[in-house]
Amino acid sequence: MTVVKIPEICACAAMTLLTNHPEQNVIRLQLRKNSALQALEAEDFVELEQHLKVTDGNKGDFLLMQGVSKMEQYFILDGILKRVVANNKGKEMILRFAAEGDMETSYAAWRLSQPTPYAIVCVTKARVVRLPLPDWAVFIESRPKLAKAFEFAVMRGMSEIMAHTITLHLLDAPGRVQRFMRKHPELRDRVPQKELASYLNLSAETLSRLIHRRED
């Protein structure tokens, strides 16, 4: 789809440094459970935390706009985000969902010196910690184990999007619903039905009918 050039702004509430946040102890515990940071040595968390800012977003808030060059790395503490691409007519395609314990990034675009090919948006009320991608790249550069784990997570996300795109072309509507329920049972009752229908390229009515058919 055609990339839409949008001003480099974020529609989320103000960011707070993790080290100044009133819930910093709880946030630190959540952060240590993030799948992308499992390879990080305990003593290195102290250094990483100096770069992190906490953002609380509401449903529909943009963390990252499509078509911008200023990019960040996101670690999800609570809630659900979506990666979505839109054309110049406003038609959207949801590429993936990510929930707490996961991450979001535009690392590949940043490495290629390209604008972001998609937006990252809050599907539900969400809390993330974030830092500029250049700072994140410097941090992982001197930590090969962490860099390897991060790159694996990036590739896994890209593979997931490719598999989903193929699914939209090869599976019928019941098959798409069945596959999502099998692959992401933890998201079934958390993603709004309208968002899920869009992700599966179905009408909300068709999705509702297929879900009820599965439950009968």
**pLDDT averaged over 10-residue windows placed end to end, the chain, 216 residues:** 44 80 95 90 91 96 95 97 92 95 96 96 97 96 93 94 95 95 91 95 94 74
Distance CA 216, CA 207 (A): 14
| pLDDT the model gives residue 14 | 75
Domain boundaries of the chain, sorted by first residue: 16-154, 171-216
Whether residue 133 contacts residue 122, with contact meaning beta carbons closer than 8 Å, is answered with no
Distance CA 204, CA 30 (A): 34
Q: Tell me the pTM.
A: 0.90
CATH number 3.40.50.720 is the correct assignment for the domain at 16-154: no
Whether residue 167 contacts residue 179, with contact meaning beta carbons closer than 8 Å, is answered with yes
Phi, psi of 98 (to 5 degrees): -140, 135
Nearest one of 140, 169, 135 to 153, comparing CA atoms:
140
| pLDDT the model gives residue 162 | 96
Distances (CA, A) of 55 to 7, 50, 60, 95: 19, 15, 14, 23
Cα Rg for the chain, rounded, in angstroms? 18
